[in-house]
Every structure is written in structure tokens, then in C-alpha cells.
Chains A and B, each alone.
Chain A
């Protein structure tokens, strides 16, 4: 494209350290606003199509306290006086089993920050040594919840870490979050099962493999990606628990039947 200058008939010629020729100046005056508009549109389009991470609540700031009975199994939790189960988790990507062990079946006061997604509630235990302590109110501890009978299920979804998914990170699932989910579960945070069916999100059962709420080896690798899990779905004092074995968990492939039996 020749851009003749009216002064000497030579095409306009741009050199960075010399004054900008008129045609290049005009081009830049048009191009810069156009580029800004394009950037705004691209940013709006990309940001506007991000998927909804789901409704979660994560409390920050002032520490809150709960009183109730603490149990270590199937996962460290406190059953408060209103019969609500809160999973008790640590700061960062760590579980708190070592801090909770001595309080199994004991009525305690727990201090920390609230996490919540749907019916699944969690507490991020504060760092202070007395953030979990025996309750002095004189009320009795409740008895350990029974292991319900349950029903066999086949679920398709994703094993997520229970802290990020219920509010610590949003979104706390999917491929981009996979490395974090593995790190969290490996560090002792609870593996939960998020079904691909939105209605099933509310259940968010705790995944227990061979009786333990932890994933190891090849199973840990499957966190954060679509899997098919077969097992027994039961309620332990109101906490949904999915009991399974390593052989009953496998990577989901599109040809799999998506129906839940």
C-alpha cells in the first residue's frame, strides 16, 4: 500500500525516532481507540461467560464459635445443638485430625470461620491452640451417630476437596482446580463427591474409600476430573457418606451411561 505524501510524492515513511508521518498519525489515531474498544469487548465477552461457581458462603474477619459434640470419624466434625453437622478443617490445605483426635465424642467449643455450600457446612479451625476446647456448659455430649444401612448407587461426577468446593475457592472444581484439589485432599481435607446432576450438588457426600475419608495413589490422581463411582450412599447422623473401594472408582468416558441407578 503506497501512502504518498503530497509534499514530495514519496510514500510516507515511518521511522521511530523521526516525526510520525501524517498517514501513520491518522492510522494511529483511529487504531488506538479501535484497539481499546476491541479489548473492552473481548474482556467483557471472556469475563461474562465464566460459569457460575455456585452459591457458597465463606466467612472472613471476626472469628465465630460453635458448641457441640466433636467426632473424628468418618471425618472430623462437630454436631451442634441444632443437630447441624459442620466438617472441621484447617487453615490452608491441611486437615485437623491431629488437633481433634483427643476430643472424639466430647462436647467442645470450636472457633474459626464458617464455610457453607447448600446443606454442607464447614468450619475453618482457627490457629490458636484453644480454638478447640472442652465445653464448660455442663451439657451432655450426643452419642456417636449410627452408620446407616444406605443404598447402592452409581454416580457420575467429580471428587472435589471439601474446603475449596464449599467456598474457600470459587470455582473449587474442574480441571483448572485439579492440582489444588489433589494437594488439599492429600493434606487431609475431606474428599466430597459433586455429581454432574445439579440437583445432586446439595448432597455432596463425603467419599470414604475402604472406610477412610482419604484418597491415595491412583485414586488421588482422579480428583478434579469426571469419574464414575459405585458404592453405598448412606447417612451418618445426617452426613451423607459415599462408601466405595478403589476398584469401584474409575475415570468417566463419554460413552459411559450417565444415568444414576
Chain B
């Protein structure tokens, strides 16, 4: 119960998981993260603007609005690439966990940069004329039949609408309101959004700024994002394909000594959801590998203060029943385990989320999995 009280205390300070909604559940890490992020964005804008006036000076100087439009657009694209790379990189190393933990702040920052870019474009190119600014930028004067005449602004506007939807629903309130699955599907829209942005760049600025560097950097970015996703995706698929056959009541998932004290292990079952197995003290417990918050891999987490802790955002569950400690309400399915000699056996049929299951007790003499 000591752990429960500690977590409840943390929750009251807004430091741990969500049981009430505030704009941002600040903690020292989030404050540092946002400070560094804001400083990096500011640094980028200052360098971009400064460099623009170093290269073209005097009568050749670019208009400040054009420079700002380009600075914010390229910043948004750079941030989007970082956002898209964090996910697959986290499959290769846990070192990027601090970036993953606050990825939503990065996403909202990217949206703000894109919004500033769009606002400046609509004001500068569409304003001060005989038509309203937005229709002036995206109206039907353009031609859909050619690359040079294609209204690339439409791609940008569609991407901005997706980014707005994602930024507006990024809060945990919407996660609970929409359900984790629907929220996840909604936020997978980042991939079509990325495609729209690539098209926006290709049909837009690449048609007038023709230095090969721009095209090459875009290709490099798309290549990096695609490659990372493909490699990570194929590795995960291979892992699932090599999963254990769950065609009997009990599946042998290995030696007791394979399970390290306080650490999780991911068990892949063919054609079934993955299972997270944890060794805690003298027992072994199994939960669904899918965190109820955002689907994080619980089996890659550890036991912290007696609770299974998700590596993505620190959501916690009791190993015995898959329930978040009070006052939280999240639940994940549990699984039954038993030990035959030195082998750990898993019943592959998941229990209802939050159903208590007795831990499988480890016989004396099998403690080599301890640290």
C-alpha cells in the first residue's frame, strides 16, 4: 500500500499518470523538454533569417515576410521528420525514451510552426487584394492538369487541417473520450499528412527554388523516414512470425531463469496479442503487452515501486490484476502462468482486463534470474 499512497500523492501534484485533466501535467522533465524545444526552434529561425540576409544583401535582399514564411515552413518539416523518426528508433534503442515521452509536445510545436507559416502565406500572398485572403490563395484559378499550375496550397491546407485535428485531440482527455484505439487511428493520420506535405513541397517551392539541395534533402528525409519504418516494421513482423504456437492450453515460454527480477519480457504468440511477463520477488505474472494508455509495449518496461511500468509514458499496473493502482482506472488483460519444474507455462487465453490472477511461484533454487 505504500506504493499506492506514493502514486496517489504524485497524482495530486500532477506528476504521475492521469486521473484528472489539466492542460499540461507539468513535471521537471517536461519543463526541461519544452525549454530545450523552444530554444532549438528559436535558434533555427534566427539562423535561417540571419543566413538569408548574409547571402542576399542590399538590393538583392529577400522580403522579410518571405524569409519568415520559409523559416517556419522548413522548421515544421524538420520537426515532422524528427517526430516520425522517434517511433521506429525507439524499437532499436531505449535511449530515445526521453524524446518519446513528450512527443506530443513536439507535435503541437510542429503544428504551431505550420500554422504560422500558413497564416503568413494567407496574409502576405492572399491579403490586400480584391478577394478574401484564403480563397485568393486556394481558389480555382490554378490548373489541376499540370505540375507548374497545380494548386499546391491545397495539399498544405489539407495537411494543416489534419495537424490541427491531431493537436486539438492530443490531450489525454480526448484519449479517454475517444478510446485508445480510436485515438491511435486518428493520430496515425500523421502518415497521410506527411504525404500531403511532401506533395505540397514538390508541387510548390521545388518548382520555383530549383537548387538541387532542396530536392535532395527532401528525398533524404523521405528515405530516412521510410527506411526506419520499414526496418522496424519488418523486425517486428519477423518477431511475430517466430512467435510461439498457441495451439494448446498451455504454452512453454522458457526457463524460469530467463526472467530477470523486476524486468519485463515480451512473449510473442503466433496470431495473438503479445504478452508481457514480469518476475517480481518469488512470483511471475503475465499481462497484455499493450498499455491501455497509448498501446505502449509493457513487456519492455520494468517494475517500479511494485507496479509494472510502461516505457512510453510511465503508466502503471499491478502485476497481480492488471489494474492501475487507485485512484487510476486503467486495466489490461491478465494471463495465467504456472511453473512445470523449471519451465514457465502460459495459458494463451487472456482474462478480462483487471481480473486478479495468482502469481506463479518460483520454486526455491531458481533464483538465477535475479540481478
Chain A contact residues, CB within 8 Å of chain B: 1, 3, 8-18, 20, 23-24, 27-28, 32, 35-36, 39-40, 42-57, 91-94, 169-171, 173-180, 182-184, 186-187, 220-222, 225-226, 251-252
Contact = CB atoms under 8 A, between A and B. Distances in A.
B183 interface: no
Interface stretch (B145-153, B161-169, B222-230, B280-288): B145-153
Interface string B226-256: 0000000000000000000000000000000
B101 interface: yes
Contacts of B102: 16
Contact of B262 (A10, A52, A186): A10
Interface in B69-90: 70-71, 74, 78
B95 A1 contact: yes
B277 to A, nearest CB: 15
A8 B262 CA distance: 10
B92 interface: yes
A251 B148 contact: yes
Contacts of B124: 169, 180
Contacts, number: 214
Contact of A171 (B62, B142, B263, B309): B62
A21 to B, nearest CB: 9
Given A174-B209, A252-B148, 11 more contacts: A8-B262, A10-B263, A10-B371, A12-B94, A14-B101, A46-B48, A50-B209, A169-B63, A170-B61, A176-B209, A179-B138
Contacts of A92: 128-129
B149 A225 contact: yes
Contacts of A28: 98
A17 B27 contact: yes
A55 to B, nearest CB: 4
Interface stretch (B173-181, B210-218, B329-337, B340-348): B210-218
A53 B65 CA distance: 14
Interface in B281-308: 301-302, 304
Given A1-B93, A179-B125, A55 B60 contact: yes
A169 B66 contact: yes
Contacts of A222: 149
Q: Which of A16, A53, A220 has the most CB of B within 10 A?
A: A16
A118 B92 CA distance: 57
B191 interface: no
The 7 closest A-B pairs by CB, nearest first: A174-B208, A9-B371, A92-B128, A47-B51, A93-B129, A175-B207, A14-B97
B48 A10 contact: no
B126 interface: yes
A180 B148 contact: no
A45 B213 contact: yes
A183 B130 contact: yes
Contacts of B205: 175-176
Contact of A44 (B47, B78, B141, B152): B47
B219 interface: no
